[in-house]
Amino acid sequence: MPRMTEQTTTNVTRVAIAGAAGRMGQRLCALAGEMDGLTLSAAFERPEHAAIGKTAADNSGVTIGDVFKGDADVLIDFTTPAATRALLPACVRHKTAYVIGTTGLTDADHKAIDEAAKSIAIVQAPNMSLGVNLLLNLVAQTAKQLGDDYDIEILEAHHRYKKDAPSGTALAIADSICKATGKNPGTEIVYTRHGDDVVRDRGKITMQTLRMGDTVGEHTAYFSGLGERLELTHIATTRDTFARGALRAAKWLSGKPAGRYTMKDVLGLT
């Protein structure tokens, strides 16, 4: 019996949660203890946050601190680009695998992640849900099949407090379409439409953004031809969808060799 207990303990992945008092952070802390093979080992917030010193989740026994000490196998981060920039070298220093769900990252941020991935295992994705990652495959297949005879519009909606726009998921949808059709995201995506002469340019992808109430996350890709319209939609009704996806990614990432991975790797999608 003692031997079995030791084996079980060895197979448990210790996770740390950045931004533990935020909307996503709270759900990550609460759900970490419910998933087999995971345990919450650390939680932290920015210095002087009111939550520091409080318990991260009921019955977790973990107190929210003000710094990441490396006391985890995997760090999960749904915070801000500035916070992620600071945590990336900390993970490299502590040899901690890193799950990044932060959106609004710049090209320079992604280059820094590429560099860090030479030393540690990293999963970085704008959306951690299974449904969204299936959607990314579907929009790519649809765009390639239909071609430029069908106009493409992407509409995303989130809660009133979301800072970045368009959402990382909406950008990922556009990127999947561009890769499938050979379009250049820098020239083929239109982010606004206003004025007296805004006739649609053939082949362009238009992005629209809504910010309203407590909307968790809604994304629709429209493919509209003359006489018909195809809509591919994903609606998230709870943040737990993303939290569980991130925790699943953390469990999968633990023990993996250094490298940059995606949710397609985690979910076994091709």
To which H or E segment does residue 249 belong? helix 240-253
Percent above pLDDT 70 for the chain = 96
- Max CA-CA distance within the chain? 77
Query: Residues 226-241: pLDDT tens digits?
Result: 999 999 999 999 999 9
Tokens of 63: 């107190």
Smallest CA-to-CA distance from 243 within 26, 39, 1 is with 26
Task: Quote the number of domains for the chain.
Answer: 2
Please give the positions annotated as active site: 158, 162
- CATH at 79: 3.40.50.720
pTM listed for this prediction:
0.80
Domain co-membership, 259 together with 232 = no
Task: Tell me the average pLDDT across 244-248.
Answer: 95
Report yes or no: 163 and 211 within 8 Å, Cβ to Cβ: no
Looking at the DSSP bridge assignments, the partners of residue 232 are 221
- CATH at 144: 3.30.360.10
Domain co-membership, 50 together with 96 = yes
To which H or E segment does residue 41 belong? strand 38-44
Q: What is the mean pLDDT of the chain?
A: 93
Give the domain range for residue 15: 2-124+240-267
Report yes or no: 41 and 254 within 8 Å, Cβ to Cβ: no
- Which letter does DSSP use for residue 153 in this model? E
